[in-house]
Amino acid sequence: MDTKLVTETDQVLREIAEPWDFTVDGDPSTLIKNMAKVMIENNGIGLAAPQVGVKKRIFIMGNETKLYACINPEITEGSGEVMDLEGCLSSPNLWLNVKRHETIKVKYYNALGQEIITEFNGIMARVYQHERDHLDGVCFDTRVGKLSLEMAKKRRKKKLRKSLY
């Protein structure tokens, strides 16, 4: 199956993904490799399985040299709040100011099925929270106020119009 981004309006982006069961679903490394290809081709720093039409609780984040694969990821604790601009590969050219925890404690399984308990902060904490949301069918546009979303969409339209010339 070809791994590619679903469109912004695809229902899979609004649905709750199912846990990855290593004994039933097997080795996730092919999926992860295909997702990494899509993420890197699109200059992303995070990608969740539903974004490529796979309704499973898997996301990746990072880059070619340091890639995290987070399976059945949880956030066990969050602290601090920070507002910053966020984009999403499922919503091209839409940039929103989203409030996230600055530091998070997390638990997930890696591609080998090993349980990882660790902490992220800064940009990686932001990406983790954004991608983790995707697994619950939550897109970043529901994390901002209606007015700021409308304004961001107007800005996007203007930008798209400009790029036509």
Q: Which residues bind Zn ion (CB under 5 A)?
A: 88
Sheet holding 115-121, edge to edge: 46-48, 58-62, 67-88, 91-109, 115-121
Please identify, using beta-carbon distances, which residue of 22 and 67 lies nearer to Zn ion.
67
CB of 65 to Zn ion, least distance (A): 22
Q: Which is nearer to Zn ion, 72 or 91 (CB)?
A: 91
- From the list 74, 115, 119, 131, the catalytic residue is 131
Residue 22 or 62 having the CB closest to Zn ion: 62
Measured distance CA(58)–CA(47) in Å, rounded = 9
Minimum CB separation of residue 32 from Zn ion in Å reads 17
Question: How many other CB atoms are found less than 10 A from the CB of residue 54?
Answer: 21
We find the least distance from the C-beta atom of residue 134 to Zn ion, in angstroms, to be 6
Q: Contact, 137 vs 14, CB < 8 A?
A: yes
Active-site residue 41, yes or no?
A: no
The residues assigned a catalytic role are 131
